[in-house]
Amino acid sequence: MTIFQFPKDFRWGTATASYQIEGAAQEGGRGVSIWDTFARTPGKVFNGDNGDVACDSYHRYEEDIELMKKLGINTYRFSIAWPRIIPDGDGEINREGLDFYVRFVDALLEAGIEPFLTLYHWDLPQTLEDDGGWGNRRTVDAFVKYAEVIFKEFSGKINFWLTFNEPWCIAFLSNMLGIHAPGNKDLQTAINVAHGLLVAHGKAVQSFRRLGITGQIGIAPNVCWAEPYSKSPEDQAACDRSIALNTDWFLDPIYKGSYPQFLVDWFAEAGATVPIQDGDMEIISEPIDLLGINYYTMGINRFNPEAGVLQSEELNMGLIKTDIGWPVESRGLYEFMHYLQKYGNVDVYITENGACINDDLENGKINDDRRISYYEQHLAQIHRIINDGINLKGYMAWSLMDNFEWAEGYRMRFGLVHVDYRSLVRTPKESFYWYQNVIKNNWLEIRN
Ligand SMILES: N=NNCCOCCOc1ccc(-c2cn(C[C@@H]3NC[C@@H](O)[C@H]3O)nn2)cc1
């Protein structure tokens, strides 16, 4: 067997998000989000599923924290639902909504678990979307107002902060491909959204510094690692475009103060431009302290002029796939983390990594061996990354429990804990106990 020992201060955790687990969608003064609207639009979400009940964590969070204590994690990544805090987006503060998160954060701290907060995990107040969404500076200013409410309430209690989860999903999956809320299918709209959220990110970081808020702040891009099908320049360029739209499009403005010119030029060919106003790039490039990285899979891509705006086609190479159809290929994480070094050896946390394995209960157990295998492969790569001297400081498995997987609804299960959506009974899977052992030992044992 092989033993991979992790650093003594390495953070072990799990991750969730407000709309995916909370439920109580019409309780506590919560306003309507774009995902409430999208899920109620016929054909957008599998089976017409929505987040009205989800895992009911709004009422069951103490039970969830007991599961976290049993698992042995020291870090828990979650998100706050903006519509609970300021229901109409930029109006009055809903104290009842804020108090729910005060109770939750206090309970986490009481349990000895470090809160790792995402301010925005996709549940935009609908009123702001109705007025132009992230492409309207009103939304940018509203986000800063919301962020400052949270900063002031939780400074001293929360020390790890993320502004946005997966900006590529917020901008391009949701506004160019139309697969997530609000479901637009327009490149210029997507570019406007991406720029708006970047300005909002920068302004929030400036507020964080000005207010002297405790801890470290950053952002969490999702990775789309790709390798060329052939050695041809066209296939390599197709990969470069695919990787860069998820990463460089957001991290170049933050770390370099400018967009990647090759992609700006590519989009200009398609008639789309970035709506930069005076001072925007200086705001966006306000220095940050950490990055969250979300990794699930990688692709083998080739140039194909018919393959969407990037003309980059991901090929089915016959790899083992998870039940959501994503190839299991952990080496993309290693390659990506070295790619990321062009921004410097910045502090990085894996804020999402996990497998969709839809095993169900059998005799009271869930023998999700495929999920264990997925985690073994990816944690081995993480040890390799750390061994190369990269500042990878922690790992949060997606997800603590099965939850609402966006357009896939509840059919796709990423949890270490099984959720029966009728009874809401939580049942730890075999992978939960495997991960519990890794955390307890702070080492990974690869069985021969
Ligand atoms: N990348 N290029 N794609 C080209 C075209 O893809 C079509 C489909 O696209 C995608 C891409 C990515 C995702 C996705 C889902 N999760 C899992 C969630 N992460 C945040 C947390 O809430 C988890 O639930 N992460 N990523 C879904 C669909």
Lining residues, ligand 1, CB within 6 Å: 17, 20, 165-166, 173, 177, 179, 222, 224, 294, 296, 352, 398, 405-406
Measured in Å, residue 397 CA sits from the centre of ligand 1 at 16
Q: What is the pLDDT of residue 271?
A: 97
Residue 426 confidence (pLDDT): 98
Predicted confidence (pLDDT) at residue 179 exceeds the cutoff of 90? yes
Task: Dump pLDDT digits (tens) for 416-440.
Answer: 999 999 999 999 999 999 999 999 9
Q: What is the rounded CA–CA span in Å between residue 241 and residue 132?
A: 28
Here the ipTM equals 0.92
Q: pLDDT, tens digit, for every residue of 13-48?
A: 999 999 999 999 999 999 999 999 999 999 999 999
Q: How far is the CA of 59 from the centre of ligand 1 (A)?
A: 28
Q: Looking at the predicted structure, is the pLDDT value of residue 62 above 90?
A: yes
Cβ atoms of 300 and 314 within 8 Å: the answer is yes
Sign, CA dihedral 167-170-176-179, equals: positive
Strand order in the sheet with 225-228: 225-228, 298-303, 312-315
pLDDT on residue 183: 98
Tokens of 84: 């609970």
Average pLDDT, the chain: 98
Give me ligand 1 centre to Cα 413, in Å: 14
**Residues 257-263: contacts with CB under 8 Å, at least 24 apart:** 257/281, 257/282, 257/284, 257/285
Global pTM exceeds 0.80: yes
Asked if the model's pLDDT at residue 448 lies above 90, the reply is no
Asked if 352 is an active-site residue, the reply is: yes
Q: What is the pLDDT of residues 73-120, one digit of tens each?
A: 999 999 999 999 999 999 999 999 999 999 999 999 999 999 999 999
Looking at the DSSP assignment, which residues form a beta bridge with residue 300?
Answer: 227, 315
- Which of 352, 376, 408, 445 does the annotation list as catalytic? 352
Atom number, ligand 1, closest to the C-alpha of residue 406: 24
Residue 340 is given by DSSP the state G
CA-224 nearest atom, ligand 1: 1
Ligand 1 centroid – CA 168 distance (Å): 9
Q: Return the pLDDT at 142.
A: 98
Q: How confident is the model at residue 406 (pLDDT cuts 50, 70, 90)?
A: very high
Q: Residue 447's pLDDT band (boundaries 50, 70, 90)?
A: confident
Give the DSSP letter string of 286-318: ---SEEEEE---EEEEEE-TTSTTTTEEEE---
> How many CB atoms are closer than 10 A to CB 271?
8
**Phi and psi at residue 217, to the nearest 5°:** -130, 150
Q: Which two tokens stand for residue 41?
A: 């639009």
Q: Ligand 1: which of 315, 406, 411 to mutate, most ligand atoms within 8 Å of CB? A: 406
CB 357 within 8 A of CB 320: no
Return d(Cα 67, Cα 70) in angstroms, integer.
5
What is residue 357's predicted lDDT score, i.e. its pLDDT?
Answer: 98
- Is-contact 415 403, C-beta < 8 A? yes
Q: Based on the number of CB atoms within 10 Å of its own CB, is 145 exposed (0-12), middle (13-18) or buried (19 or more)?
A: middle
